[in-house]
């Protein structure tokens, strides 16, 4: 577990990769605090030191001599290299190792998510491993995942744009109507967490809540087995609406 300043301010991070956002956030914040402190100090100090006084006279300079150029240029370069290039570097590592590094291991849990105004439709492929078949386990507003296994999502919205947001995993991904977007995460500890919508999706956007239940492997498998039984019993081939899933996009 990582430790970040002000833990009371935010949710517990229970994900394998949430630390990346946190680490970059605090790293950026540290650099920003230093940069801003320097600016604020210069601002306050010059305001005080160079305030107009009787008989005081400002220096006549346009700051266009070589020395001024050099100082400005070097400072700007320092800012760019120490702050910006560093952030890009760290972020590139995150992107490569996590964000777009889709899990391929056979134990990956695959879930299709179709948000609509204002609920989360969730679909598991069932024993056949193929989506949009009668054995699919379908839930509303409840996503269950096992601890320690990578979970990959396919998202596609039904009506308007929504955004799948799980604060405890420091993760957010838009779901658009018309095509599939992807994201993935991995839980490190069991518990009940919230799924939130973070894209304006109509007047009830604020209560578009779902539950993310992280369980032990055994509990998850038991729940899944029950779900598959239920799904087969309930499946109605005449109801086309039921088959809202799509072919998996890896």
| Ranges within 117-136 binding other proteins (CB under 8 A) | 117
Least distance between other proteins and beta carbon 1 (Å): 17
Footprint of other proteins on 134-163 (CB under 8 A): 157-161, 163
The H-assigned helical ranges of 85-172 are 86-94
User: Which listed residue (199, 212, 227, 231) binds other proteins by CB under 8 A?
Assistant: 199
- Angstrom distance (rounded) from CA 119 to CA 195: 10
Footprint of other proteins on 44-63 (CB under 8 A): 46-47, 50-53, 56-63
Least distance between other proteins and beta carbon 200 (Å): 4
User: Which listed residue (30, 70, 130, 200) binds other proteins by CB under 8 A?
Assistant: 200
Strands 109-116 and 150-155, by their bridges, are: parallel
- Angstrom distance (rounded) from CA 231 to CA 162: 26
User: Which listed residue (8, 233, 236, 239) binds other proteins by CB under 8 A?
Assistant: 8
- Angstrom distance (rounded) from CA 99 to CA 18: 11
DSSP conformation letters of 192-218: EEEEEE-S--STTGGG--EEEEEE-HH
User: Which listed residue (21, 122, 138, 152) binds other proteins by CB under 8 A?
Assistant: 21
For 209, how many CA atoms within 13 A lie in the half-sphere containing its CB? 6
Least distance between other proteins and beta carbon 14 (Å): 12
Closest to other proteins by CB, 87 vs 147, is: 87
Q: Which CA distances in Å does 36 have to 13, 33, 47, 51?
A: 28, 5, 16, 22
Closest to other proteins by CB, 16 vs 158, is: 158
Least distance between other proteins and beta carbon 8 (Å): 7
In our burial notation (b when 16+ CB lie closer than 10 A, e otherwise), range 31-69 reads beeeeeeeeeeeeeeeeeeeeeeeeeeeeeeeeeeeeee
Total binding residues toward other proteins, as defined by CB under 8 A? 97
Site string for other proteins, 161-190 (x = CB under 8 A): x-x-x-xx-xxxxx-xxxx-xx--------
Footprint of other proteins on 208-247 (CB under 8 A): 209, 244
Q: Which CA distances in Å does 54 have to 48, 58, 60, 236?
A: 14, 12, 17, 91
Stretch that binds other proteins, among 122-130, 136-144, 201-209, 232-240 (CB under 8 A): 201-209
Footprint of other proteins on 64-123 (CB under 8 A): 64-65, 68-69, 71-73, 75-77, 79-80, 83-85, 87-88, 90-92, 94-95, 98-100, 116-117
Least distance between other proteins and beta carbon 16 (Å): 14
């Amino acid at each position: 577990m990582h430790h970040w300043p002000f833990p009371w301010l935010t949710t517990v991070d229970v994900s394998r990769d949430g630390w990346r956002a946190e680490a970059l956030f605090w790293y950026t914040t540290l650099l920003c605090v230093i940069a801003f402190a320097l600016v604020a100090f210069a601002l306050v100090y010059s305001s005080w030191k160079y305030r107009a006084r009787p008989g005081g006279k400002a220096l006549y300079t346009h700051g266009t001599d070589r020395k001024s150029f050099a100082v400005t240029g070097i400072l700007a370069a320092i800012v760019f290299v120490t702050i910006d290039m560093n952030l890009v570097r760290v972020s590139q590592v995150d992107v490569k190792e996590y964000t777009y590094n889709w899990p391929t291991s056979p134990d990956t849990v695959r879930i299709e998510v179709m948000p609509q105004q204002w609920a989360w439709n969730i679909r598991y492929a069932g024993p056949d491993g193929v989506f949009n078949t009668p054995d699919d386990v379908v839930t509303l507003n409840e996503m269950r995942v096992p601890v320690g296994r990578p979970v990959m999502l396919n998202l596609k919205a039904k009506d308007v744009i929504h955004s799948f947001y799980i604060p405890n995993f420091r993760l957010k991904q838009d779901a658009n109507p018309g095509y599939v977007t992807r994201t993935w995460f991995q839980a490190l500890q069991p518990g009940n967490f919230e799924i939130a919508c973070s894209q304006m999706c109509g007047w009830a956007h604020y209560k578009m809540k779902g539950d993310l239940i992280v369980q032990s492997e055994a509990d998850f498998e038991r729940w899944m087995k029950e779900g598959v039984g239920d799904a087969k019993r309930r499946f109605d081939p005449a109801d086309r609406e039921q088959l809202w899933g799509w072919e998996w996009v890896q």
